[in-house]
Copies of this chain bind each other. A is one copy, B any other.
Amino acid sequence: MTEVRTSEYVGSCEVTDMPNDPFQWDAREDCEVRQILDRIADKWSLLVMALLENGTLRFTELLRLVDGVSQRMLTVTLRQLERDGLVSRTVHPVVPPRVDYSLTDLGRSLNATVLALVTWTESHQSDIAVARARYDESAAS
């Protein structure tokens, strides 16, 4: 194993008071929500999962489809996703080697949930653009 760190953050980071908060997750940096958040927000995970939604792909196919990803980062990303049970990896004992990647049920489940966030962004991107324009303009004082 090379990278695939266990997200072993250090330092405590707990909210001392959070009355009636709709977000039940605490603020520990290693809490479950943070781990999933880090996964879906990292540079390539979401894109890889989106592509695998259409079916099984080989390593090289992903490398070609995810334009801009390095071999190293694709490997690291796939290992993380595999470790979290979101993607399954199948090695075919042939020469040349062939490795297939596909989504697990858990991965498809997460994809569906993330889609809600993508949808929100699409329907509110103009609001954000307007807000930014206003902010940047008034900041240019």
Contacts and interface: CB of A to CB of B under 8 A. Distances in A.
Interface of A: 1, 6, 11-25, 27, 29, 32-33, 35-38, 40-41, 43, 46-47, 50-51, 53-54, 64-68, 82-86, 106, 109-111, 113-118, 120-122, 124-125, 127-128, 130-132, 134-136, 139
Nearest to A136: B83
A14 B24 CA distance: 36
Given A36-B128, A38-B41, A120-B113, A51 B20 contact: no
A123 B15 CA distance: 22
Given A17-B65, A32-B121, A109-B120, A83 B50 contact: no
Contacts of A135: 82-83, 85
Contacts of A24: 118, 122
11 contacts: A15-B67, A18-B50, A21-B50, A21-B53, A23-B50, A27-B67, A32-B121, A32-B125, A83-B132, A85-B135, A109-B120
